[in-house]
């Protein structure tokens, strides 16, 4: 635990290294764009004989997830990875993986959905999949991507959960940027995740069973109700796994991260890499004597509505940032859910929604300072001029 194994590495290569250490039975992936270099790197490990994984190169992302569903139903530990339109093409089977209770783990490198065509970072891909029944975990940087992928295996495979997990990190910003990552030893990872015990393996011919039968109005609703319960019940397991992970890594994880939030008067809520930029801004503004903070959601599904609302309840004003839009809705997905949670909690600080960074448009420290300044003005005047804002778009 004290020994550091620091490597300068891209987010994709860090994710590939996590998968190498996990050593899944099967990885099925579509190898080219919109796929990222993660899968290319992992295929090198396969080619070099460093893992035992059966690597299935399929002709589309739809087939990738289909192969994963088949392999997971057969009884294997299964992973894949995707991004953007690849996730969109998988969509039909993404739902089937969750409804069949198959603990597939999939890094999703967050990139904008077309069209117009774009390959850069935003969260429109994974946010579109937020109702698919998968657990969703967002990562700020390469270290978190690596750590979350390893934790995701243990969460997904927990017998009380048995659900697929998506681990997100920001396209290009994290996927292609080089950062210092502290890797765990192979043995520590394999002991942490343990051997895979399939629940209902199709290959167990002693216990024949059927996956994916027709399920009409007589039972479909009951199966959906089960899914709602299972993902809700994954929350304590996610926290247990985080605690165990701290024991092997010294790194702390929870449902979300609060950064200088406890005594803050205003705060920003931001997912993934933007939260990293925001921490620097918080530090700078704190040096100027401003009581600002940050909340970075990590687990978006299951959505920790009560905990989030409680953590924000003491603020005077909060800006909730969305790197995707929900066209025609009252704000982006993070905003609508947090605002709803705050209303339920009974304490709602003044709030605005900042939709930003679509298609990879940069957000820098000055932008975040501007947003904190807006919050100051709201606190000062008590007025919210513009509840839902498209920040950084040219008028």
Partner 1 sequence: MTVHKKSGWKDIPKGGLIVEPGNSEKYETGSWRSVRPVRDDNKCTHCLICWVYCPDSSIIVEDGKIKDIDYAHCKGCGICAAECPVNAITMKNESEFRAEKGEKK
The closest of 94, 35, 107 to 66, measured between CA atoms, is 94
Binding mask 98-137 for partner 1 (x = CB under 8 A): -xxxx-----------------------------------
For residue 330, state whether it binds partner 1 (rule: CB under 8 A): no
Stretch that binds partner 1, among 44-52, 61-69, 178-186, 208-216 (CB under 8 A): 208-216
Q: How many residues bind partner 1 (CB under 8 A)?
A: 23
Nearest approach, Cβ of residue 377 and partner 1 (Å): 49
168 DSSP β-pair partners: 108, 138
Mapping DSSP to helix (H, G, I), strand (E, B) and coil, where does residue 256 land?
Answer: strand
d(CA 379, CA 391): 20
Distances (CA, A) of 72 to 61, 84, 153: 16, 23, 13
Q: Is 212 in the site for partner 1 (CB under 8 A)?
A: yes
Instruction: Confirm if 85 and 34 have CB atoms less than 8 A apart.
Output: yes
Q: Is residue 207 a contact residue for partner 1 (CB under 8 A)? A: yes
Taking the least distance from each CB to partner 1, the nearer of 88 and 155 is: 155
Q: How far is Cα 373 from Cα 202, in angstroms, rounded to an integer? A: 58
Q: Please tell me whether residue 206 binds partner 1 under the rule CB under 8 A.
A: no
What letters, b where the CB count within 10 A reaches 16 and e where it falls short, cover 34-70? bbbbbbebbbebeeeeebebebbebeebbbbbbbbbb
Stretch that binds partner 1, among 43-51, 124-132, 200-208, 385-393 (CB under 8 A): 200-208
* For partner 1, the closer CB: 91 or 200: 200
Task: Assess contact for 90 and 59: CB atoms under 8 A.
Answer: no
Q: Is 162 in the site for partner 1 (CB under 8 A)?
A: yes
If one asks whether residue 257 binds partner 1 (CB under 8 A), the answer comes out as no
- Give bridge partners of residue 7 from the DSSP assignment: 181
Q: Contact with partner 1 (CB under 8 A): which of 160, 197, 225, 232?
A: 225
| Cβ–Cβ under 8 Å, residues 266 and 312 | no
234 binds partner 1 (CB under 8 A): no
Span 369-388, contacts to partner 1 by CB under 8 A: none
CA dist., res. 350 & res. 343, Å (int): 11
Residues in contact with partner 1, shown as a per-residue x/- string from 86 to 105 under the rule CB under 8 A: -------------xxxx---
Kindly report the backbone phi and psi dihedral angles of residue 335, in degrees, each rounded to the nearest multiple of 5, phi listed first: -65, -50
Pick the binder of partner 1 from 49, 115, 116, 213 (CB under 8 A).
213
Q: Is 217 in the site for partner 1 (CB under 8 A)?
A: no
Can you tell me the distance from the alpha carbon of 299 to that of 138, in angstroms, rounded to the nearest whole number? 6
CB-nearer residue toward partner 1: 210 or 247 = 210
- Residue 210 interacts with partner 1 (CB under 8 A)? yes
Burial of residue 386 (CB within 10 Å: 0-12, 13-18, 19+) is: exposed
Instruction: Name the DSSP letter for residue 88.
Output: H
Q: Does 44 sit near partner 1 (CB under 8 A)?
A: no
CB nearer to partner 1: pick between 116 and 213:
213
* Cβ at position 127, least distance to partner 1 in Å: 25
Q: Which is nearer to partner 1, 217 or 327 (CB)?
A: 217
Judged by CB under 8 A, the residue of 4, 160, 197, 223 near partner 1 is: 223
Q: Is 229 in the site for partner 1 (CB under 8 A)?
A: yes
Residue with tokens 């093409």: 89
Point out which residues bind partner 1 (CB under 8 A): 99-102, 162, 200, 207-213, 215, 218-219, 221-223, 225-226, 229-230
């Amino acid at each position: 635990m004290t020994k550091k194994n620091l490597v300068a590495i891209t987010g994709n290569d860090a994710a590939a290294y996590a998968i190498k250490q996990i050593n899944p039975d099967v990885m099925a992936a579509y190898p080219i764009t919109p796929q990222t270099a993660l899968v290319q790197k992992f295929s090198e490990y396969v080619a070099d004989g460093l893992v035992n994984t059966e690597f299935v190169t399929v002709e589309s992302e739809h087939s990738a997830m289909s192969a994963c569903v088949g392999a997971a139903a057969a009884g294997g530990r299964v992973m894949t990875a995707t991004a953007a339109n690849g996730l969109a093409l998988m969509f039909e089977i993404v739902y089937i993986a969750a409804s069949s209770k198959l603990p597939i783990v999939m890094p999703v490198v967050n990139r904008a959905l077309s069209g117009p065509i774009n390959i850069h970072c935003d969260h429109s891909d994974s946010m579109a999949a937020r109702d698919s029944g998968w657990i969703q975990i967002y990562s700020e940087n390469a270290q978190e991507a690596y750590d979350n992928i390893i934790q995701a295996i243990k969460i997904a495979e927990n017998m009380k959960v048995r659900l697929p997990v998506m681990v997100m990190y920001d396209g290009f910003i994290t996927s292609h940027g080089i950062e210092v990552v502290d890797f765990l030893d192979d043995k520590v990872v394999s002991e942490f995740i343990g051997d895979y015990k399939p629940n209902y393996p199709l290959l167990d011919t002693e216990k024949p069973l059927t996956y994916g039968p027709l399920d009409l109005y007589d039972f479909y609703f009951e199966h959906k109700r089960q899914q709602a319960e299972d993902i809700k019940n994954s929350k304590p397991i996610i926290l247990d796994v985080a605690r165990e992970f701290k024991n092997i890594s010294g790194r702390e994880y929870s449902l979300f991260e609060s950064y200088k939030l406890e005594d803050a008067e205003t705060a920003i809520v931001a997912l993934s890499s933007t939260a990293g930029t925001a921490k620097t801004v918080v530090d700078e503004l704190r040096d100027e004597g401003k009581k600002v903070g940050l909340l970075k959601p990590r687990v978006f599904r299951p959505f920790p509505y009560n905990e989030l609302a409680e953590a924000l309840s003491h603020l005077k004003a909060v800006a909730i940032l969305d790197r995707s839009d929900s066209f025609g809705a009252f704000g982006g997905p993070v905003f609508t859910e947090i605002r709803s949670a705050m209303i339920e909690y009974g304490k709602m600080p003044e709030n605005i929604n900042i939709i930003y960074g679509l298609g990879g448009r940069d957000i820098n420290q000055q932008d975040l300072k501007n947003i904190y300044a807006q919050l100051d003005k709201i606190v000062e005047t008590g007025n919210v001029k513009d509840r839902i804002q498209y920040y950084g778009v040219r008028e």
